[in-house]
Amino acid sequence: MSITASDVMSLRDRTGAGMMDCKKALQESGGDVEKAEDLLRIKGMKSAEKKAGRETGEGRVLTVIADDGRSGSMVAVRCETDFAAGTEDFQALLNDLCAHVADQKPNSVEDMLEQPWQASRTSVAEAIKEATGRLGENMQLAEIAYLENAEGLVGTYIHHNRKVGVLVSVTTPATREDAAEHLKTLGMHIAFTNPAALDRGGVPAGEVEREVGIYREEVKDKPAEIQDKIIQGKLDKFYSAQALIEQPWVKDDSMSVAKAMETLLGEGSGVAAFARFTVGE
């Protein structure tokens, strides 16, 4: 049967595949659109498998905040080149993945990859493989995050290069309008300082033990009765760099992040959780 330009365009709109690939698939399927889609999917999977081992040194981070401001999702997707990361197809994939995180709330990347994609028989992993085939580059879902706060707000900050993103949850009585600029600044603070944890309890014990060991070596020649006090002072300084709520506030280093939240957002306000993703850095 004759394959028209309209048929090719229609299949391209449905699949995102190249024009020549769509035309060839329609010819091979005898004009059967569903069979042509299957052929394109198979071709995309094979292409993706060939590209799977290639290095993914670029990518983008995307965040989406719910309309009520009380939840948000974030994804980081790696690819091979900055050019591919800037395409509309790549951005559309990011949007769909973020929507999936918000809707399904997967516990991990591995969990998400096995979940059904947009209520279809296809898994998220297969959908990414199909996108890999269309874009011609290896792509990997690197990280995901979902934060929700029924007693506060979730904010976000994306660096101008879209390679660093932050999602942060703050418990606060402040309205979304009043808190918006402060949440953005808090996200910017996190992007810049890259804290290891929310508070002291979240800093890996191994890192703390290593620091204490170094401090003990540094003070071994000091009088025994002041060694512990010196070590504690050094440890406090270490925590002020590693624990977000103890860090000096980016806009006023005379107060901590914890103090800044209460000062700016009202009594009882505080950071509940955060996530920071980086790709291609």
Number of domains in the chain: 3
- Judgement on whether residues 68 and 41 belong to the same structural domain of the protein: no
Strand partners, 170: 153, 271
Please state, for a pLDDT cut of 90, what percent of the chain lies above it.
71
* pLDDT (average), residues 239-268: 97
What is the extent of the structural domain holding 96?
58-199+244-278
Neighbours of 201 (CB within 10 A): 8
- Judgement on whether residues 62 and 140 belong to the same structural domain of the protein: yes
- Residue 30 DSSP symbol: T
What CATH number does residue 47 fall under?
A: 1.10.8.10
> What is the predicted pLDDT for the residue at 14?
67
* CB burial string 117-139: b at 16+ within 10 A, e below: beeeeeebbbbbbbbbbbbebbb
- Judgement on whether residues 188 and 138 belong to the same structural domain of the protein: yes
Please state, for a pLDDT cut of 70, what percent of the chain lies above it.
90
- Judgement on whether residues 10 and 127 belong to the same structural domain of the protein: no
* pLDDT (average), residues 226-235: 94
Structure tokens at 48: 């993706």
- Judgement on whether residues 112 and 146 belong to the same structural domain of the protein: yes
- Judgement on whether residues 192 and 217 belong to the same structural domain of the protein: no
pLDDT tens-digit map of 90-134: 999 999 999 999 999 999 999 999 999 987 788 999 999 888 888
Judge whether residue 49 has pLDDT over 50. no
- Judgement on whether residues 17 and 130 belong to the same structural domain of the protein: no
Structure tokens at 198: 């929310």
> What is the predicted pLDDT for the residue at 41?
62
- Judgement on whether residues 128 and 264 belong to the same structural domain of the protein: yes
- Judgement on whether residues 248 and 237 belong to the same structural domain of the protein: no
- Judgement on whether residues 109 and 62 belong to the same structural domain of the protein: yes
What CATH number does residue 116 fall under?
A: 3.30.479.20
- Judgement on whether residues 120 and 176 belong to the same structural domain of the protein: yes
- Residue 243 DSSP symbol: B
- Residue 124 DSSP symbol: H
- Judgement on whether residues 76 and 96 belong to the same structural domain of the protein: yes
> What is the predicted pLDDT for the residue at 27?
81
pLDDT tens-digit map of 176-210: 999 999 999 999 999 999 999 999 999 999 999 99
pLDDT tens-digit map of 8-45: 777 776 666 666 777 787 788 777 877 777 776 666 54
> What is the predicted pLDDT for the residue at 160?
95
> What is the predicted pLDDT for the residue at 281?
66
